[in-house]
A and B are shown apart, each in its own frame.
Chain A
Amino acid sequence: MIMTTNPAFLFVHAMNSLALGMNLFIIAVGLTLIFGVLRVINFAHGAFFMVGAYVLLSFTRWFEHPAIGFWIGAVAAMVTLGLIAYFVERHLLCHLYEKEHLLQLLFTFALVLIIGDITKIIWGPLQHSVSYPPGFNGAVNLGISYYPAYLLFLILLGPIIALFLWVILEYTRWGRIIRAARLDREMLLALGTNVKAVYSIVFVVGSALAGLGGALAVPRMAIEPGMDSLVIIDCFIIVIIGGLGSMWGSFLGAIILGISTIFGTLIFQEWEIVVVYMLLIIVLLWRPSGLLGTPEKERH
């Protein structure tokens, strides 16, 4: 491990960890928001991520100009997923709130299957690729080392989204209602709040974030069938480490997963696969509700 003493080398790896973590954060925070309020473990979150990637692909093909195609595509991915989520929540999922809680798992599993086939029917089974948006395909000199511009963008965007969500949750009326819904659903109903609307909004926003995460992940990976199955497990790890339902928890969890993936690979090579799950168990044993999660007792 001679190379780890090189500061530029360390710096690049730290940045890589952050970039990976921030991309995953954008996806995972949606999952944690939805869980926090609706108490639904959404297995289809990965499928939503995949749809986001495919929507971006279509937009980069429709628009001649790569920059316009990419950025409009990223917004379109959010909007599309928001619309899909609205339909799913209003017309299907809402019928399950009164029923056995675990049936929601069955429901999201069915969604995963259906979305998997629909994407294959629309976009075909082959792999696709979208380039970095113009202006983001090179590297920037940061003094200590050159670093890819697109990754810098991700590193900056993650905290911006986190702060934005924090401000909304902390300082707006809807934010207060959402926080209250996380703690005590019945009380909100008793107070005459439109809980239905809260659920819709949270599901739509959470899913739109999955779509955005999918779109933004595209320049760094392949768009292909089955890309949903890998990302969902990463999201679960992040959400569990950070604490189910905690926004800042998923932020922290994403950074931890990023670090353990990058440095785990450097130090343990292919054994990194074991490291992540060991880490997960250690965190859960030390803090059962995740690093920043609310202990179960405080919920009602």
Chain B
Amino acid sequence: MPFYVRKNFWTITALALLAILPLTGSRYSIDLTTQVLIYALFALSLNILVGYLGNLSFGHAAFFSIGGYTCAILLTTYNFPFLISFLTALAFSAIAAFLIGLVCVRRNHMYFAMLTLAFGMLVWAIALKWRPVTGGDDGFVGINIPTILSNPINFYYFTLLTSIIATYALWTICNSTFGQAMIAIRENQNRALFLGIDTQSIRLKAFVISGIFAGLSGILFALYNRGMYPESAFWTESGQVLIMVLLGGMHSFIGPILGAIALYSLEIFINQFTEYWQIVLGGILLIVVLIAPEGLAGGVIWVEKNFLKKS
């Protein structure tokens, strides 16, 4: 086996499994995996801020919904070609993240979190109130998507490909000098400043990157559901994705993906078995919090250290 294959053995296996998933012929698996991929990407984008930069954001759903709404409106209201709508939506998320980031990155800790919350809720209020454009509380339902994407399998591959590219891009960013700079800021902003790192500029860039990828997941969400709803911008949605990051473990690149898989599928599965899904999910989360200090990824490392290394 060539070195790079051995080194990335499990990643490649995972991707191969994902690639052949449609062969099982199960529409259910395909749909569920598409939904999970979208949330995994959303959680990964948030982790740039939370895990790498050490800035808690309570308003990340703002960029998710700006991406989704922009793409939906351009495709449907204005009948723009798919690629243009897609790219413009990304650009809009970037611009929104830049403008909001400009204000937010001047603040630290809780004040940063609170500002993101305020902006997030403002975006929600606008999505709700700007009825002629966004459809208001009824949501923007019935998005014109290209015929090729209307097939669930094709859409699955589209989402998978987009997620792989995006994840690879995020991985590269996180492991570059830029990523190192972010970690330096997280560990000690003043020290980073003394080392000559332009902390404000790095934080703003990170904010924009994070916003773009959140926007991307929002676009995928809108296309998948063929609709966009104001509740996707509500603070509970930002809270939900934050919970995914925390559950998975924010100090590893892979953590948020695990968190998204776990939380999203748990919600779906438990709902299938009992009306009282809240108490079951809450109980599971409680156990995870009390037992695994570093989230699920931490739990995996722990299992690995104590059981797998010996064999």
Q: Interface of A with B (CB < 8 Å)? A: 43, 92, 95-96, 99-100, 102-103, 105-107, 109-114, 116-118, 120-121, 229, 233, 236, 240, 244, 270-271, 273-274, 277-278, 280-281, 284-285, 288-289, 296
Contact = CB atoms under 8 A, between A and B. Distances in A.
B45 to A, nearest CB: 17
User: What interface size band does chain B fall in?
Assistant: 35 or more
Contacts of B246: 102-103, 105-106
Contacts of A273: 125, 128-129
A96 B289 contact: yes
Given A102-B56, A113-B282, A114-B279, A277 B110 contact: no
Given A109-B243, A116-B278, A281-B118, A103 B110 contact: no
A273 to B, nearest CB: 5
B285 A110 contact: yes
A107 B289 contact: yes
A118 B50 CA distance: 32
B4 interface: no
A118 B279 contact: yes
A111 B281 CA distance: 10
A277 B129 contact: no
Contacts of B158: none
The 10 A-B residue pairs with the shortest CB-CB distance in the complex, in nearest-first order: A113-B282, A114-B282, A110-B285, A117-B279, A113-B278, A117-B278, A280-B118, A277-B122, A110-B282, A110-B286
B299 to A, nearest CB: 13
A232 B286 CA distance: 21
B122 A281 contact: yes
A284 B242 contact: no
19 contacts: A96-B290, A100-B293, A102-B250, A103-B246, A105-B242, A105-B246, A106-B246, A106-B289, A110-B286, A114-B283, A117-B282, A121-B276, A233-B235, A280-B121, A281-B103, A284-B111, A288-B106, A296-B108, A296-B109
Contacts of A112: 282
Contacts of B117: 236, 240
A99 B289 CA distance: 10
B36 interface: no
Interface of B: 50, 56, 103, 106-111, 114-115, 117-119, 121-122, 125-126, 128-129, 235-236, 239, 242-243, 246-247, 250, 276, 278-279, 281-283, 285-286, 288-290, 293-295
For B106, B118, B119, B276, the residue with the greatest tally of chain A CB atoms inside 10 Å of its CB is B118
A26 B294 CA distance: 35
Given A284-B111, A289-B111, 11 more contacts: A110-B282, A111-B286, A114-B283, A114-B286, A118-B279, A236-B117, A273-B129, A274-B126, A277-B121, A280-B121, A281-B119
B114 A117 contact: no
B140 to A, nearest CB: 19
Contact of A99 (B106, B243, B276, B293): B293
Contacts of A116: 278
Contacts of A278: 122
A273 B136 CA distance: 13
Given A106-B246, A273-B129, A296-B110, A284 B289 contact: no
A240 B282 contact: no
A274 B122 contact: yes
A271 B286 CA distance: 39
Contacts of A43: 239
B216 to A, nearest CB: 25
A230 to B, nearest CB: 11
A274 B124 CA distance: 9
Contacts of B250: 102
Contacts of B115: 281, 284
A113 B285 contact: yes
A105 B279 CA distance: 17
Contacts of A244: 110, 114
Contact of A284 (B118, B128, B285, B293): B118
Contacts of A106: 243, 246-247, 285, 288-289
Nearest to A229: B236
Contacts of B122: 274, 277-278, 281
A109 to B, nearest CB: 5
A13 B243 CA distance: 40
Contacts of B121: 233, 277, 280
A100 B294 contact: yes
Contacts of B118: 240, 277, 280-281, 284
Contact of B281 (A113, A120, A277, A280): A113
Contacts of A240: 114, 117-118
B245 to A, nearest CB: 9
B62 to A, nearest CB: 11
A107 B243 CA distance: 10
